[in-house]
Structure 1
Amino acid sequence: MEAWQLVLVGMVMLLGLCGVLVPGVPGTWLVWSGVAWWSLHERTTLAWWVLVGATALLLVDQTVVWLLGPRRLRGVGITPRMALFAGAGALVGFVLLPVVGAVLGFVGGVYGSERLRLGGHGEAMLSTRTVMRAAGTSILVELLGCLLVAGVWVGAVIRG
């Protein structure tokens, strides 16, 4: 694989790593697709093992996120109305300020929902922090899996 192709694969993986942090962006899929693209072009034993390992690791990672997420979020009182406010806030934030605005809008939507439900600023801030901690755990688990895959890919490229 030529250097410019490796740079493109690296950019796809970097976009995937950033996408893990942004609601609605399929970051894990982008990281996996970068590894798949590289291994399909390399066609070496090392490349195939990296692809198999990345696939297995990301499947386990997604399973953990899937099992961990609802359990942690259920415990802090996520309501359908809060999810609607957070999703709408993320969409509006993304339109107003691409990428970064989605995260800010998501947090703003959670805060707005809690402010309406609880009535006061202090209670809404406390509840928003609790919700963000619960959601952050899932994001960190997903980010860790993607970082491990990216690190193995970088090691394989350097070795290969």
Structure 2
Amino acid sequence: MGTWQLVLVGLVMLLGLLGVLVPGVPGPLLVWAGILWWSMSEKTTPAWGVLIGATALLLVNHVVKWLLPARRLKGVGVTRQTVLWAGASAIVGFFVVPLIGAVLGFIAGIYGAERVRLGGHGEAWAATRTIMRAVGTSVLVELVACLLVLGAWMGAVIHG
């Protein structure tokens, strides 16, 4: 694999890392695609090992990422309606305020739905914070998994 192709693979994976933090961008998929591209070009045992390990880790990450928030949200009593309002508000926010609108809309949607459901500001704000912690935990788990994959790739590139 040439230097430029290796740099491009690294840029795809860097885009994947940024995608973990940006709603709507499939970060882990981009990281995995970079590993796939590299391993298909290298065709060595360590490259295939990194691909297999990355695939397994990202699949486990996918399951854990969806299980963690669901468990925390059920404990607080968050309804599906709240999640739907938050998602709809995030989509509207994305188009109203570029770049940060999706996050602002998501938070506003959660707060609005919880304010209607719970009736008071204090309870709604506490529920909003809990939901945001759960979502933050999910993002952190996804980011750590992608960083581990990137680290394995870098180790294989440096070693090989």
Smaller-chain TM-score range?
0.7 to 0.9
Q: Is the 8 A contact 1:89 1:108 kept in 2?
A: yes
Alpha carbons of 1:78 and 1:15: their partners in 2 closer, same or farther (altered >3 Å)?
farther
Structure 1: which amino acid aligns with 2:83?
A: A
| Structure 1, 117-126 or 105-114: larger mean CA deviation | 117-126
Structure 1: which amino acid aligns with 2:114?
A: E
| Structure 1, 36-45 or 96-105: larger mean CA deviation | 96-105
Structure 1: which amino acid aligns with 2:151?
A: G
TM-score (norm 2): 0.88
Which runs of 5 or more residues in structure 1 are unaligned?
A: none
| Counterparts of 1:93 and 1:58, CA distance in 2 | 29
| Counterparts of 1:117 and 1:108, CA distance in 2 | 14
TM-aligned CA deviation for residue 96 of structure 1: 3.0
Which runs of 5 or more residues in structure 2 are unaligned?
A: none
| Counterparts of 2:118 and 2:10, CA distance in 1 | 45
Give CA-to-partner distance per residue, 1:9-28, whole Å, 9 cap, x none. 22221222222233333221
Q: 1:142 maps to what in 2?
A: 142
Q: After the TM superposition, which parts of structure 1 deviate over 4 Å for at least 4 consecutive aligned residues?
A: none
Q: 2:40 maps to what in 1?
A: 40
1:7-156 alignment to 2 at 5 Å? Answer: 7-156=7-156
Alpha carbons of 1:54 and 1:3: their partners in 2 closer, same or farther (altered >3 Å)?
same
Alpha carbons of 1:101 and 1:61: their partners in 2 closer, same or farther (altered >3 Å)?
same
TM-aligned CA deviation for residue 130 of structure 1: 0.9
Alpha carbons of 1:97 and 1:14: their partners in 2 closer, same or farther (altered >3 Å)?
farther
Structure 1: which amino acid aligns with 2:148?
A: L
TM-aligned CA deviation for residue 138 of structure 1: 2.1
Q: Is the 8 A contact 1:17 1:147 kept in 2?
A: yes
Structure 1: which amino acid aligns with 2:157?
A: V
Q: Is the 8 A contact 2:68 2:134 kept in 1?
A: no
Residues matched between the structures, number: 160
TM-score (norm 1): 0.88
Structure 2: which amino acid aligns with 1:26?
A: P
| Counterparts of 2:7 and 2:101, CA distance in 1 | 27
